[in-house]
Structure formats: structure tokens, C-alpha cells
Amino acid sequence: MSMEARVGAKCGRWNPTVEQVKVLTDLFSSGLRTPTTDQIQMISTHLSAFGKIESKNVFYWFQNHKARERHHKKRRRGPPDDVDGDGAGDGDHHKPRTRCFPAGRAKDKQEVFWQRPEIKETTETLELFPLKSSISEEEKVIAVRGELCGRTLYLDATGRDHPPLDLRLSFNYVE
Amino acid sequence: MSMEARVGAKCGRWNPTVEQVKVLTDLFSSGLRTPTTDQIQMISTHLSAFGKIESKNVFYWFQNHKARERHHKKRRRGPPDDVDGDGAGDGDHHKPRTRCFPAGRAKDKQEVFWQRPEIKETTETLELFPLKSSISEEEKVIAVRGELCGRTLYLDATGRDHPPLDLRLSFNYVE
DNA sequence: GCAAATTAATGATTTATTCAAG
DNA sequence: CTTGAATAAATCATTAATTTGC
């Protein structure tokens, strides 16, 4: 007698039957990741044929399965050009609580900065960036650091081994 | 010699080198979307180490990249958001912020859909799914078909030979 | 063999982010 | 700049596996 999805006992939480898991897994492997409300309800309805189940169980199942698939299949070498915008590619890094977005509204009318002959008072700002004006071919690496983010990105455009350039961008972080 | 960002020839318009694109892309993926004037100038200055470039090129690059990321997203909607596995594969794709539902935040009252006693106007949707309400033990097989995918999955949860249930899920596939 | 103790899975919640609309 | 929609990530919490002492 399997202890499967249970009859009358303590049902603190949903305990899927093997059939239910099988179907969910197949759906997942067929590409379904984030089912819509309707899909969830249908899946739930039909899985109820195998045992007690609620829509939310289906929802959670997909959430968890998707998330865990990711974290479990981690670490595979190679050039992980994870240009993924949200950086969610690899569960490791995610913005703490600070956002990295400046607010450069550069173009109102003709105020596009590069068309403007004048130089704004960027004095203070520039001081924040100890830029090197002369960089050799061997130094084509740029380290961008979001100060408040506390992390440093070493962007090696050449893919070779070079010392960082130390270009620091002062992202405007928002609390 | 790569034809990259050009030497002396026809430079009608900026033609970024792979290094430049790499750096810009990395900056973008690290969260930078709308660089300030100062940031643009710095980026430009340093990218000039890889080839001819002007500040406006950087400005436009971010404008375009941001806008295109958005438009790309708008096309892809629906559940199977990340068919490529862990979402780290493709360069620029986030999750479609459109539709789909039950938020992870269930704490607000009882607004979670599965707790809602009411039935939404799923009339039209339901019609798409000729569900059988009574299925015998011998029919515990569910055939799920992704309409747009053109393929049908026969999910036999029992492992035995049974006729499909014909539960059709209308997946929203990404082209 | 069995059940308490411990650990591994995984269901359920909470929290943080992101894009976009207002 | 603010807020809404919609997750994904992180975390909490239970249940099933398993290990261990008897």
C-alpha cells in the first residue's frame, strides 16, 4: 500500500501521486514552464483523477520545478555569455536591494549632449573616475564596478588575460 | 585583419568592433540601461581603445538595445517563457511581463485565484477543451497537445495502454 | 525489523526585481 | 516617479527517505 496522496489523514500539504508527478513532468519536459491560470485549472482538474489536488499545487509545482531545474543544472564551463538582462541566469548573483539605473535623459530638443559645445559641471563626477587615458593593447580589459552594488564586473572584451582597466561607472543606485 | 571598425575607409556610420559590442552588452546585462552623459562619455572614451567611436554611438546603442529588447519581449508571450532551459542561454530575453497570473504574493487577502470561489469568464477558453468529466481507471491517460507546436504528447501516467483523455492545453508558444 | 533521529526533497510562502503604464 | 503585473529567487516548513541503536 503506497502512502500516496492520501485519503483521510493528515494532509498538511499536497503529496502528489506518481501519476500526477508523471504528467506534470511530461508537461514540463514538453516545454511548459509557466502555465496560465486556465492551463493550471485544467491540469488540476484532470490530475484530480489521480488523487487529491488543488490548482495551487500545480502552480507551485511548476514554480519549484522550474527554479530547481536551474539551480541543479549549474556549473558548466565554457564561455557563459550570459547576457541575460536580469542576471537570473545563474542563481548566484542578483541585485541586493539596490538598482543600478542612472537616469540619463539626454535628449530634450537638441540638448543631446554630444551636440552641445558646452561642458556641464561634471567636475565632481569626473573626480569619481580615475580614468586612464592611455591604455595599451595589453590592457584592454575593463572593470566596471557598481560601487553600491559591491560587486565588480571584469569585462574582458578580448577574452584574453589582461589586467583590469579600472573604469568605474557611478551607477545611480536607488535605495 | 578583421574588417572591424574601420581603418580608413568609408565610415558612413559607426561600425562597432566585437570588443565594443562585448563591453556594451556586458554593461547592459549588468543593469545599465540609460547611461548618464558622464557615463556615456567615459564608456566612449574607453571603447575608443578598440576602435573609432563617438559618444553618440554609445548613446544610440543603449537606446536601441533597450528598445529592441522590449520589442522582442512583446512578441514572446505566454507560459513557455524559457524553453532553452535555464534562461541563461539567450542573450536578451526576459520574461514576458504580459498575462499569466497567480502571483507569488498570496498574503494580500484572499485574492489568489485558486481561492476565489467565482469562476471567471473562461467560457471561451473552456470551449477549447472538450474535457471529459468522467474517466474510468482505464482511461487515465492524458494527451496534451501544444497547438502551436503541432505535436501531441500522450502522457500515460499509469504506464499501461490507455486511450488518451484529450486534454488539450493551448500553450502559448514562442516562435 | 522497528522506530526515533537525521538528512534529503520538495511543497508553500515571502521577498525582490523588472518592465511598463499612468 | 509611482504603481501594477508577473514572476524568479530565496526561504521556510513538512514530508519521505535513510540511517542508526537496539
**What pLDDT digit, counting tens, does each position of A39-82 carry?**
888 999 999 999 999 999 999 999 999 999 887 765 333 333 33
pLDDT class for B16, splitting at 50, 70, 90? Answer: confident
Mutate to test the interface with A, among B36, B43, B145, B165 (most CBs of A within 10 A): B36
Strand D at less than 7 A from CB of B85: no
Q: Which residue is nearest to nucleotide C20 (CA to C1')?
A: B97
**Nearest-5° angle of CA B50, CA B55, CA B58?**
75
**Cα separation values, A109 from A106, A137, B34, B36, B37, Å:** 9, 39, 17, 17, 15
A108 touches strand C (CB under 7 A): no
Question: What's residue B109's pLDDT?
Answer: 35
Strand B151-156, strand B141-146: pairing: antiparallel
Q: Give the count of beta carbons closer than 10 Å to the beta carbon of residue B104.
A: 9
Residue A14 or B46, more confident: A14
Output the pLDDT for position B55: 76
Q: Which nucleotide is nearest to A14 (CA to C1')?
A: C11
pLDDT score of B142 more than 80: no
Query: Which residue's entry shows cell 539626454?
Result: A106
Give CA–CA dist A149/B140, Å, rounded: 52
Q: Taking a C-beta distance cutoff of 8 angstroms, is the pair A66, A26 a contact?
A: no
| C1' of D3 to CA of B17 (Å) | 40
Of B46, B82, B85, the CB nearest to A167: B46
Structure confidence at residue A60 (pLDDT)? 94
Nucleotide nearest residue B103, measured CA to C1'? D6
Report the range out of A64-73, A84-93, B1-10 with the highest average pLDDT.
A64-73
| Cα→Cα distances A41→A7, A139, B102, B131, B146, Å | 22, 57, 12, 12, 16
Supply the pLDDT for residue A12: 82
The confidence band for A25, taking pLDDT boundaries of 50, 70 and 90, is very high
Return d(Cα A38, Cα A77) in angstroms, integer: 39
A120 touches chain B (CB under 8 A): yes
Whether the Cβ atoms of residue B29 and residue A87 lie closer than 8 Å to each other: yes
The answer to whether the beta carbons of residues A132 and A107 sit under 8 Å apart is no
Q: Is A65 exposed, middle or buried (0-12, 13-18, 19+ CB in 10 A)?
A: middle
Name the pLDDT band for B4 (thresholds 50, 70, 90).
low
Q: pTM of the prediction?
A: 0.43
Contact A172, A101 (CB under 8 A): yes
Residue of B93, B90, B44, B47 lying closest to B68 (CA atoms): B93
User: What's the rounded Cα separation, in Å, for the pair B146 and B24?
Assistant: 38
